[in-house]
Amino acid sequence: MSEIHAQREQLQELTQAALPEIEAATNLKDLDAVRVKYMGRSGLVTEVSKVMKDLSNEARPQLGQLMNDFRNSFTQVFDAKKEELEEAALQEQLASEAIDVTLPGRKPTIGARHIITQTMEEIEDLFIGMGYQIIEGPEVELDLYNFEMMNLPQNHPARDMQDSFYIDSEVLLRTHTSPVQARTMLAHNFEEGPLKMISPGKVFRRDNDDATHSHQFHQIEGLVVDKKITLADLKGTLLVFAQQLFGEDQEIRLRPSYFPFTEPSVEVDVSCFNCGGDGCSVCSRTGWIEILGAGIVHPKVLEMANIDATKYSGMAFGLGPDRVAMLKYAVEDIRHFYQNDLRFTRQFQGGQN
């Protein structure tokens, strides 16, 4: 009997066992387990080869040959199976990631600018058209600019109308956009020409919120400083503004008023765009709607900003875009603007993204 008879038989048995096991594997992991079982470092084939060192010189290459034969037939079947399983796995992945191009697309939701922003930008555009710059100021402001330089010194009774949120005794959330007047006048170089600016932004007051008051709302400040600015310039500017915003037939009316930073001061009404002046519920049957405060800049305000009030004069105005939007779009409660209820905000998408 040949020296390697036992090994030959073992290898035959292994071949008979291994090839069906390879065929039976249903995934790459199971297939690899078969490889380790037979061909791994401590696999069944290695076991068989352990006698090698005790064999005669003739028998050794014979066993080597038998082992090579085993390896070849194993590898051939194994590689074919591996390729088959890899292809199947790929097909499965492709199927699971398939895109159904016949499905209707998902419509992207595109946001829109808030109606207050739209209103402010409309007003900004209008003033840009008249040569104004847009200047923004900080919402957390110094008492110095918010009150002091607006001619509202400590203990001035008019401060009560604008109760604020104080950070400390010198710093507060600005109660109006007027402090930007002071900041801009200080920064302006009049040798380069007149100062014409509007300043839109948020303002804050410690009011009790109700249908027409919110602790946060918006203002647009306007300021022009040049030589010989008069109330006629103010009136003409505001008439153009009202007509562009509300319609060609608009009229405006100036009523005397009081603001510490202007002298004289006026309140400005526009003829009711709802009824054209006949009287309706929008204008409380008066035919007029108040939309802003304005006036000729108080000489003290100019002088506090180092401007020679004997040479220069100014006009200023402050208007509330929330109120303009409420009137223009018949919104009955200012709080709607700030609650972000989509049923409300979506009414103003109007394609103006």
Interface residues for ligand DAH in 238-297 (CB under 6 A)?
Answer: 259, 262, 293-295
Q: How far is the CB of 195 from ligand DAH (least distance, A)?
A: 13
317 belongs to the binding site for ligand DAH (CB under 6 A): yes
- Sheet holding 252-259: strands in order across? 133-134, 195-204, 216-226, 313-319, 288-297, 262-271, 252-259
Quote the tokens at residue 327: 């009137």
> How would you classify the pairing of strands 252-259 and 216-226?
unpaired
**Is the bond into 264 cis (omega within 30 degrees of 0)?**
yes
Nearer CB in complex with ligand DAH: 78/221: 221
- Give the span between the Cα atoms of 56 and 71, in whole angstroms: 22
Nearer CB in complex with ligand DAH: 147/273: 147
Q: How far is the CB of 353 from ligand DAH (least distance, A)?
A: 31
336 belongs to the binding site for ligand DAH (CB under 6 A): no
Interface residues for ligand DAH in 157-216 (CB under 6 A)?
Answer: 176, 178
Q: Which of 25, 316, 326, 331 binds ligand DAH (CB under 6 A)?
A: 316
221 belongs to the binding site for ligand DAH (CB under 6 A): yes
Task: Please identify the residue of the shown chain whose CB is closest to the bound ligand DAH.
Answer: 318
- CB crowding 304-323: b at 16 or more within 10 Å, else e: bbebebeebbbbbbbbbbbb
Q: How far is the CB of 285 from ligand DAH (least distance, A)?
A: 25
Nearer CB in complex with ligand DAH: 178/274: 178
- Give the span between the Cα atoms of 269 and 14, in whole angstroms: 103
Nearer CB in complex with ligand DAH: 78/288: 288
318 belongs to the binding site for ligand DAH (CB under 6 A): yes
